[in-house]
Amino acid sequence: MTTEFPRTPPAEHDDTLSLRQQLVNWLFTPLFLLLLFSTVTGYMAAVTLANKPYDLVLLERARLLASRHVLAPGDHLAETYRLFPGQADDFRFSLHDMAGNGIVAIGRLPRPRPLDYQIQAPQWRDTQYQGRKLRLVTFRFAVAGGEALLAQAAEPIDARQSLGRSILGNIVIPQFMFIVIAGIAVWIGLKRGFEPLERLRREVAARPRDDPQPLDETRAPDEVRPLILEVNALIERLKTMMEAQRRFVADAAHQLRTPFAGLKARAELARREPVAEPVRDALERICDSAQRCSHLVNQLLTLARNEPGARPGAPMHVLDLRRVAQDTAAHWAPEALRQGVDLGFEGIDMQLPVRGHEPSLRDLLDNLLDNAVRYTPAGGHITVRVGYGDSAWLEVEDDGPGIPAEQRGQVFERFHRMPGTEQSGSGLGLAIVQEVARRHGAVVLLEEGRDGAGCRFTIRFPHHGAAEGGEPG
């Protein structure tokens, strides 16, 4: 399992907080509601427009048939109706006297309702009879002698629906196309309008982690410029606070170095004197505590030196990673021998140029080797390796107890100590490693050793050639 600590973690995207998404919703929702309203009203208008001419034709044909019956009662009305141009299929017609008796009929129609005998003007309604949807007109027809007949005529509504759909299509389709074109124009406008914000986001994302410079508000839209000015003011306040905190930690650690060194020296001198055994045990504990405190103070100073902005004027130049790693490993060799640990160095026989700050890189290696020597048992092995793949890399591997996979993401936190460990330490070593790596744009990988035991820390540096800053030193 490999644990990688990227330089900049990816930001999570949340559409509920997207200004673009909210604008799209507010702009497109009324447009689609307008389309829905227009479709409903258009359909009602189309049905009304389609019914009017058909109703008039149906009424006139019914009147002609009723008149034909009155003038020539013996004629066959169905044969007469076929003489009409453009007659409807399944046309139905009936005549009743005012007593409700049927006189003549073409096709089958429902019996007139009692209310129908009382009407004066023609009445139209939609009905369903024998499984067919019909448009029915009912009207009173006067005959000689002051009498009246009740006429009914009906025809299927299929042709009316077809005409209504045609009218609706002619209304809705252009509106839908207009909304689509308007939507595309709005989307393009939003994309172009948000381009300055997207450009600002890219510039901020590309900035180094330790770059505290204010954002450039001159190219931002007027609506966003006040926000950028406030962000810049916040950056300045954070710079001031971080600088004060860093100075406090550095000053406090620096001031504590001398007292702890003096305490340790005096305890060492007192321990050499002939004293009682309980006193000697107390002096031993004082020496150990003073040593731990001195180590913690040194780690705090190292961390303060490698935090972002701590060394604004520190030069970053091209140096030979192989030489730095080999010198640091040689410096730790005596300590490893005292602990009974075999410390070795492996590397290709060539210069490995990286752009960096040599004291900081030595701090990184010192802390990796300090952890390795501290936790590797006697008889163990530690190997420092350097090499070159896509770019230069540095590796420190040991065959100690290792770090469980579920804790590898926490060991780089400040003051984090492995549960159950018996070794003394400050909990700052790997935090220093991470700060130095971030400062150099490098990536830290933590995984098991090659044989499945111990730990292997790999630092992969960004690619640069020696031509960027001269020959490596």
Quick one: 263 and 357 in the same domain? no
Quick one: 180 and 299 in the same domain? no
Quick one: 159 and 254 in the same domain? no
Quick one: 408 and 461 in the same domain? yes
* Domain boundary pick from 284, 306, 328: 306
DSSP annotation string for 133-202: EEEEEEEEEE-GGG-EEEEEEEEESHHHHHHHHHHHHHHHHHHHHHHHHHHHHHHHHHHHHTHHHHHHHH
* Domain boundary pick from 306, 337, 362: 306
| Domain enclosing residue 45, as ranges | 7-193
Quick one: 258 and 394 in the same domain? no
CATH label of the domain that carries residue 137 = 3.30.450
Look at residue 138 and tell me whether its pLDDT is greater than 90: yes
Residue 418: its pLDDT value, please?
A: 62
* Domain boundary pick from 281, 306, 331: 306
Quick one: 185 and 253 in the same domain? no
Kindly state whether residue 209 falls inside one of the protein's structural domains: no
Kindly state whether residue 159 falls inside one of the protein's structural domains: yes
Quick one: 249 and 160 in the same domain? no
CATH label of the domain that carries residue 423 = 3.30.565.10
pTM: 0.48
Which of 46-55, 309-318, 321-330 is most confident? 321-330
Task: Give the model confidence (pLDDT) of 432-471 as tens digits.
Answer: 888 888 888 888 888 887 777 888 899 999 876 543 444 4
Look at residue 227 and tell me whether its pLDDT is greater than 90: no
Task: Give the model confidence (pLDDT) of 209-220 as tens digits.
Answer: 666 778 877 777
Kindly state whether residue 133 falls inside one of the protein's structural domains: yes
Q: Please indicate whether residue 313 or residue 342 has the higher confidence score (pLDDT).
A: 342
Quick one: 165 and 18 in the same domain? yes
Quick one: 113 and 171 in the same domain? yes
Domain total of the chain? 3
Quick one: 292 and 372 in the same domain? no
List Cα–Cα distances, 274 to 227, 263, 277, 282, 283, in angstroms. 71, 19, 9, 14, 12
The residue-averaged pLDDT of 75-96 equals 67
* Residue 18 CB neighbours (<10 A): 12
Q: Please indicate whether residue 153 or residue 80 has the higher confidence score (pLDDT).
A: 153
Quick one: 270 and 390 in the same domain? no
Quick one: 285 and 326 in the same domain? no
In this structure, is the dihedral angle defined by the CA atoms of residues 376, 378, 381 and 382, taken in order, positive or negative?
positive
